[in-house]
């Protein structure tokens, strides 16, 4: 029997037109009235409650920073929003080796399940949910070349000595736009080689230093507040605008990592980011003209909310920041400006405010996401070794939460029943809906190519035919073996629900919005045995531009809470 189409939708996104047909593609399937199918689906699935596991990496050290090993699950107490939660998953890494077995990563299946699942594939040496994806982020826009090159020498040493074959590393840089210098790889030598290409970049921080010194000199030489305050305001506005672009780039990166499984860390290298751009110059105005009202005007450029949003997004995506202040041991510059200008009443206070301002953000980003900041040192080797200690020694605690899809931010606190220990972990997460989580996974698969396919989903792409406007109409089919889908017995049929997610990316990196297509599956009970040897199929026709494209697909079994992601490269037309 030919597949029966239950519904069709037309979706236009980013220049793409998708004609979606949902089909059963079962030899044993018989026609089913659409209204009946949807009514049965509503009746059953309205009672479904999604329970997701929240994973928290916990670093336990003594007062000197040495890792504490040998703890058990009973040594930990976990609280969400001040309420105790039960730890169901417990994983230990000591000296880079797994200790003991990890509990299941997903909640138990519904008791009504009637179809037995196939056994999962053998796990790698480190479970996928515990593999490390490390992003080395060099902020060339906010760093001085000499500081950067000094730090990169130590970073190359870190890569050679501390990364394991199970780890993945990617190199990105920021020069007003975010650039992937090398995609994720398990060979750190490739990242080390790519780092050399960054050493000739002149950056932008030297220009910012020059602008700041000019404003300081103008303050020293001014005879009235009105004569120079506009210059301070102009400087602060420019710095705030640049900072906004910098934060946006980090948010973009953190967001793209959301769908990757496992632990994720960003090693961020810069000369610092100001929490309140221009704050030090407003203090210089205060010291010169003794007018305290100027300080209130510096609040117009407070960026704390933007950084809080960045931290919340990182925590929600299981991303920890480790930050390096590449400036190291800083020297005061305002005294030299005063000296060159022939007087004034500046001292090192103005520079100390500037230094604190620049470091407060990178401390916050790290400490609130479970990492730490490496500051006030010209040699970050010790801090990098400590970071390697985090990667090789930690406890991963998982607990089920029904609140993990509500879109609210939830605070996490972990306590350890040992005296004199220090405990570090991400301080919370924002609940994600299943759509957001699946969209993140589909996007990450498109961008980074990491596939997870426990449902054995297959994607077939047919030959495209010329369509309107120079586009090609490309047929595609997604198949899922029905023995991978949880089916619920309902009187005389078995019922399941699958959601399919689509996105596409062209060779310039342009990406369509992720589209969600829910599909109900109904199989007559007397045909179940035959159906389990077959596949459910989802057919799509996509209008695509000529050229190289990538298609990303996510599939979620709603009842089994199982998710698969895969991507395929296709070449459309002759171009």
pLDDT of residue 122: 36
- Phi, psi (rounded to 5 degrees) for 23: -135, 160
Residues 393, 69: Cα–Cα separation, whole Å:
8
pLDDT of residue 347: 65
Residues 562, 486: Cα–Cα separation, whole Å:
9
Task: Please say if the pLDDT value at position 78 is more than 50.
Answer: yes
* 48-to-110, 155, 181 alpha-carbon distances in Å: 9, 48, 44
Between 363 and 473, name the one with better pLDDT.
Answer: 363
- In the chain the domains, ranked by start, together with CATH numbers, are 5-49+434-572 (2.60.40.3880), 52-108+120-129+393-430 (no CATH), 133-390 (3.40.50.410)
Q: What percent of the chain has pLDDT over 90?
A: 60
Out of 80-84, 395-399, 531-535, 553-557, pick the least confident.
531-535
CB distance 486 to 115 below 8 Å: yes
Between 414 and 118, name the one with better pLDDT.
Answer: 414
pLDDT of residue 574: 62
Average pLDDT in the chain: 84
Task: Please say if the pLDDT value at position 149 is more than 60.
Answer: yes
CB distance 422 to 66 below 8 Å: no
pLDDT of residue 98: 87
| Residues in contact with 435: Cβ distance below 8 Å, sequence separation at least 6, in sequence order | 516
CB distance 524 to 488 below 8 Å: no
Task: Please say if the pLDDT value at position 27 is more than 50.
Answer: no
Residues 14, 510: Cα–Cα separation, whole Å:
8
Three-state SS for 414? strand
DSSP states of 359-391 as a string? HHHHHHHHHTBT--EE-S-S-THHHHHHHHHHH
Q: Mean pLDDT throughout 322-333? A: 89
Could you tell me the pLDDT band of residue 50, with boundaries at 50, 70 and 90? low
User: What confidence tens digit (pLDDT) does each residue in 243-285 have?
Assistant: 999 999 999 999 999 999 999 999 999 999 999 999 999 999 9
User: What confidence tens digit (pLDDT) does each residue in 526-544 have?
Assistant: 888 888 888 888 888 888 8
Residues 501, 506: Cα–Cα separation, whole Å:
17
Among 336, 360, 348, residue whose Cα is nearest residue 284: 348
Q: Mean pLDDT throughout 335-353? A: 64
Residues 24, 535: Cα–Cα separation, whole Å:
8
pLDDT of residue 472: 85
């Amino acid at each position: 029997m030919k597949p029966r189409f239950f519904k069709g939708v037309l979706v236009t996104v980013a220049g793409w037109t998708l004609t979606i047909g949902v089909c059963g593609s079962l030899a044993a399937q018989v026609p089913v009235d659409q209204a009946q199918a949807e009514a049965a689906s509503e009746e059953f699935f309205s009672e479904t409650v999604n329970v997701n596991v929240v994973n928290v990496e916990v670093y336990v050290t003594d007062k000197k920073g040495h890792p504490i090993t040998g703890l058990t699950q009973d040594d930990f107490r976990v609280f969400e929003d001040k309420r105790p939660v039960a730890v169901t998953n417990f994983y230990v890494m000591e000296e880079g080796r797994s200790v003991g077995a990890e509990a299941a990563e997903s909640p138990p299946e519904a008791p009504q399940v009637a179809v037995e699942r196939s056994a999962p594939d053998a796990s790698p040496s480190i479970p996928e949910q515990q593999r490390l994806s490390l992003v080395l982020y060099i902020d060339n826009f906010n760093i001085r070349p000499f500081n950067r090159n000094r730090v990169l020498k130590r970073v190359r040493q870190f890569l050679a000595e501390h990364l394991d074959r199970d780890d993945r590393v990617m190199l990105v840089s920021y020069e007003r736009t975010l650039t992937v210098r090398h995609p994720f790889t398990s060979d750190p030598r490739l990242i080390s080689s790519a780092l050399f290409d960054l050493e000739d970049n002149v950056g932008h921080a030297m220009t910012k230093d020059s602008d700041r010194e000019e404003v300081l000199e103008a303050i020293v030489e001014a005879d009235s507040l009105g004569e120079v305050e506009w210059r301070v305001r102009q400087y602060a506005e420019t710095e705030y605008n640049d900072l906004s672009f910098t934060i946006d780039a980090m948010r973009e990166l953190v967001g793209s990592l959301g769908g990757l499984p496992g632990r994720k860390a960003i090693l961020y290298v810069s000369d610092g980011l100001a929490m309140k751009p221009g704050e030090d110059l407003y203090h210089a105005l205060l010291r010169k003209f003794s007018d305290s009202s100027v300080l209130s005007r510096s609040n117009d450029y407070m960026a704390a909310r933007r950084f809080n949003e960045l931290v919340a997004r990182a925590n929600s995506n299981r991303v920890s920041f480790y930050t390096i202040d590449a400036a190291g041991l800083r020297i005061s510059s305002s005294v030299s400006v005063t000296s060159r200008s022939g007087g004034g009443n500046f001292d090192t206070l103005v520079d100390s405010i500037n230094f604190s301002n620049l470091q407060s953000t990178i401390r916050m980003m790290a400490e609130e996401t479970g990492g730490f900041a490496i500051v006030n040192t010209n040699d970050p080797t010790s801090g990098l070794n400590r970071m390697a200690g985090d990667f090789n020694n930690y406890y991963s605690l998982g607990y089920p939460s029904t609140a993990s899809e509500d879109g609210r931010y939830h605070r996490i606190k972990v306590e350890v029943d040992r005296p004199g220990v220090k405990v570090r972990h991400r301080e919370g997460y924002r609940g994600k809906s299943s759509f957001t989580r699946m969209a993140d996974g589909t996007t990450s698969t498109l961008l980074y190519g990491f596939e997870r396919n426990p449902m054995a989903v297959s994607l077939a792409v047919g030959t495209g035919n010329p369509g309107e406007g120079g586009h090609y109409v490309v047929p595609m089919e997604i198949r899922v073996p029905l023995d991978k889908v949880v089916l619920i017995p309902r009187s005389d049929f078995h019922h399941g629900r699958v959601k399919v997610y689509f996105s596409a990316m062209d060779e310039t990196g342009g990406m369509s919005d992720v589209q969600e297509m829910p599909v109900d599956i109904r199989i007559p009970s007397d045909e179940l045995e035959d159906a389990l040897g077959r596949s459910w199929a989802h057919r799509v026709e996509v209008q695509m531009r000529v050229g190289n494209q990538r298609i990303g697909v996510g599939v979620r079994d709603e009842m089994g809470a199982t998710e698969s992601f895969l991507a395929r490269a296709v070449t459309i037309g002759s171009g």
